[in-house]
Structure 1
């Protein structure tokens, strides 16, 4: 079963609910945009059918990327401003530990071989609980 066939029922519902005319033709074009630009082999032909220019596609991809970013932040319990919206203790701990690297196995190191600790490469994440 192709993706186009999966949406036939939805197309029929839209035809009756939105247009009210049983003679209206509904064309299903499964055009997909992902945050990282992965597309199907039919992407360009679907894009031409829809009349989407390069500039419009770039804007759509920016919106998809922005919405994906916001979704991930919401799942972590962090608002776009870096402040926790809801004080879910598990998410708060998870967000607070994001700047820490994985735990290292401790081993004995000669005092002369010790070096100062380097800052973590992970981005810092400020988490606050709003009252």
Structure 2
């Protein structure tokens, strides 16, 4: 997921828009609104109709049951996700919580960019080494 998408999905409303084909109705605990509230976006397909991903930590989960609690499942499968650990819907966040999340989000974007640059440098060094070893 690109940084533009990540920023877009900071909004619970935007995450909810991805659940148009969600498998459980509003009367179930594992409904679209609760999934979006817990930080998930729906990325499912016909083969995996219940596949979701956290916009923050990128953890993917499937195998959902209608009575699952999205927050509990998120925390149990991704205990280091700062968004999940807050266990706070967007509408109930304090200013400090939101600022902490935004700060962590900024750090994550910078780290992701830095990691990609390092991967590119590693590839360049490996290519240079292979060319030098042939001589």
Does the TM-score normalized on the shorter chain lie above 0.5? no
Q: TM-score, normalised by structure 2?
A: 0.33
Name the one with the larger helix percent: 2
